[in-house]
Amino acid sequence: MSGNILVQNATMILPSSEAIGDLRVRAGIIDKIAPGGGLEPSSDETVIDASGLHLLPGAIDPHVHFRDPGQPEKEDLESGSRAAASGGITSFLDMPNNIPNAIDRPTIQAKLDLAARKCVTHHGFFVGATRGNLAGLKSVEGMDGVCGIKIFMGSSTGDLLVHEQSDLENIFSNTGGIIAVHAEDEQRLQDRFEHYKHRTDIAAHAEYRDSETAMIATKRAVSFAEDHDHRLHIVHLTSAEEADWLATKKGRLITTEVCVQHLTFDDKDMETLGTRGLVNPPIRYEEDKETLWRRLHDGTIDCVVTDHAPHTLESKSAGYPKSPAGMPGVETSLPLMLTHAAKGRCSVRDVVRWMSEGPAGVYGMDKKGSLIEGHDGDLVLVDLENWRTVTDSDTWTRVGWTPYHGMEMTGWPSFTIVDGRIVHTRESGGNLKGRSVSASGSTGRALKFRVI
């Protein structure tokens, strides 16, 4: 369902400028942008006085794991979508490692049906590659709500894995659209397992799943893409080596992303984070973190994502290496990036470029990602004056914890708006969780993707 809304007196982050003024959404579409203001309210619209707030296009998170179907104790499409909305994310793309995995038309359709009933935001789904599901991959090619193929080239959470040469050739040579690759080399992981399997200190994780493990798979994936002229997106880039190498490969064919946790944490933080900080690929070292920032600024990396991958605190308490890899993040990614901006790491415009425009461009999401007349009315109003300390109890994610517990952040969304309808509100002095105000399934649509 779409709505009419008038936002007045906002500091608007427009595609090439910043202006204080008004923005009107009619029937879910941005109808008028008025730098300087002056739009008169009409009786059939909701009016927001956004004095002191910044208006951004809704953030798009192209990498989440909402665990639906199969693991409702970790998340489902309702809790995940509400968590996303609370963090200013108006569209998300969800990964296929579910129970059952989303690997063909029936399993994808099942997720689309669940999402239509449960979500409050826009949504799209990856279809997962297996060793033998080429027909399944092809059966959803170009379907509304399907954003691309996901290949795990190294094993991670779940059992999706394709790393043999002939299987990968088969997928790259026989499919269209975009392939998103988790690039860690399975062979190297297996070869080194014996050597690392006795280590129980968390520092072993980044030593075991090292930069070379990531680099081998990234180079392999790029060579498949080049050989078959296939769009490729390398997900969650973590190492300086990959980022510097990809800088030489950028063009029409290859895009990439970085997770906000890899821009924020390094090995020193792992000592305090413990298994909460355990993710695949790992949190690495300061030099990697700094290079990832540099390669974001120079355009090598297209977007900032969360890889929101919730696991219960109980399973996380198993210690290393028994604990599963993954952390939640959709509620905090935009405030965290805006906090980095407030501290001088980047500008608010950069955040819009990396969290709205970038993902819309990578996945061909027309009329999304920018404040432009005629675009969809997906908006977020953030408060850059108010600093709040995050705690586990402030979270919407079903697992009830955040790796950022105790961290002070600014840029919390006061209003998140989907198709011109308010889906989440937060008062500056009130509960940091804010209020989720949209009924399940009443806002948000299956996204459409243009093949690029």
The residues carrying an active-site annotation are 307
Quick one: 135 exposed, middle or buried, by C-beta within 10 A (0-12, 13-18, 19+)? exposed
Buried b (16+ CB within 10 A) or exposed e, 284-296: bbeebbebbbebb
Looking at the Cβ atoms of 67 and 426, the one nearer to Zn ion is 67
Quick one: 191 exposed, middle or buried, by C-beta within 10 A (0-12, 13-18, 19+)? exposed
CA–CA dist 324, 315 (Å, integer): 7
Q: What is the DSSP string of 289-327?
A: HHHHHHHHHTTSS-EEE--B----HHHHTT-TTTSPP-B
Residues 174-233 that bind ligand DOR (CB under 6 A): 182
Q: What share of the chain is helix, strand, coil (3-state, %, to 5)?
A: 30, 25, 45
Least distance to ligand DOR from the beta carbon of 339, Å? Answer: 23
Of 63, 67, 135, nearest in space to 105 by CA: 135
Residue 156 binds which of Zn ion, ligand DOR, none (CB < 5-8 A, kind-dependent): ligand DOR
Residue 443 binds which of ligand DOR, Zn ion, none (CB < 5-8 A, kind-dependent): none
Looking at the Cβ atoms of 232 and 279, the one nearer to ligand DOR is 279
Looking at the Cβ atoms of 28 and 62, the one nearer to ligand DOR is 62
Beta-strand relationship, 146-152 and 178-182 = parallel
Least distance to ligand DOR from the beta carbon of 392, Å? Answer: 19
| Count of residues that bind ligand DOR according to CB under 6 A | 10
Residue least distant from ligand DOR (Cβ): 326
Stretch of 71-79, 303-311, 342-350, 437-445 contacting Zn ion, by CB under 5 A: 303-311
Least distance to ligand DOR from the beta carbon of 279, Å? Answer: 4
Q: Does 12 interact with ligand DOR (rule: CB under 6 A)? A: no
DSSP letter (8 states) at residue 153: S
Q: Does 157 interact with ligand DOR (rule: CB under 6 A)? A: yes
Show the CA angle centred on residue 24, arms to residues 19 and 25, nearest 5°. 130
3-state secondary structure of 222: helix
Residues 80-109 that bind ligand DOR (CB under 6 A): 97
Residue least distant from Zn ion (Cβ): 307
Q: What is the DSSP string of 328-391?
A: --TTTHHHHHHHHHHTTSS-HHHHHIIIIIHHHHHTT-TT-SS--TTSB--EEEEESS--EE--
Q: Does 238 interact with ligand DOR (rule: CB under 6 A)? A: no
Of 226, 220, 244, 108, nearest in space to 162 by CA: 220
Least distance to ligand DOR from the beta carbon of 307, Å? Answer: 6
Least distance to Zn ion from the beta carbon of 409, Å? Answer: 23
Q: Across the strands, what pairs with 389?
A: 408
CA–CA dist 396, 248 (Å, integer): 40
Q: Does 78 interact with Zn ion (rule: CB under 5 A)? A: no
Task: Please report where in the chains the tokens 């779409």 appear, as a residue.
Answer: 2
Least distance to Zn ion from the beta carbon of 219, Å? Answer: 20
Q: Does 307 interact with Zn ion (rule: CB under 5 A)? A: yes
CA dist 216 to 183, 185, 245, 334, 360, Å?
8, 6, 11, 31, 28
Q: Judged by CB under 6 A, which of 24, 63, 65, 233 binds ligand DOR?
A: 65
Looking at the Cβ atoms of 94 and 383, the one nearer to ligand DOR is 94
3-state secondary structure of 138: helix
Q: Judged by CB under 6 A, which of 59, 119, 127, 279 binds ligand DOR?
A: 279
* Binding letters toward Zn ion, positions 30-49, x by CB under 5 A: --------------------
Q: Does 257 interact with Zn ion (rule: CB under 5 A)? A: no
Residue 78 binds which of ligand DOR, Zn ion, none (CB < 5-8 A, kind-dependent): none
Tell me, rounded to whole angstroms, the distance of Cα 389 from its chain centroid. 22
Show the CA angle centred on residue 278, arms to residues 280 and 344, nearest 5°. 90
Looking at the Cβ atoms of 157 and 391, the one nearer to ligand DOR is 157
Stretch of 195-203, 216-224, 248-256, 299-307 contacting Zn ion, by CB under 5 A: 299-307
| Tokens representing residue 96 in the block | 């296929």
* Binding letters toward ligand DOR, positions 320-359, x by CB under 6 A: -----xx---------------------------------
Looking at the Cβ atoms of 262 and 295, the one nearer to ligand DOR is 262
Least distance to ligand DOR from the beta carbon of 66, Å? Answer: 10
Least distance to ligand DOR from the beta carbon of 220, Å? Answer: 17
For binding to ligand DOR (CB under 6 A), which residues are involved? 65, 97, 156-157, 182, 279-280, 309, 325-326
For binding to Zn ion (CB under 5 A), which residues are involved? 307
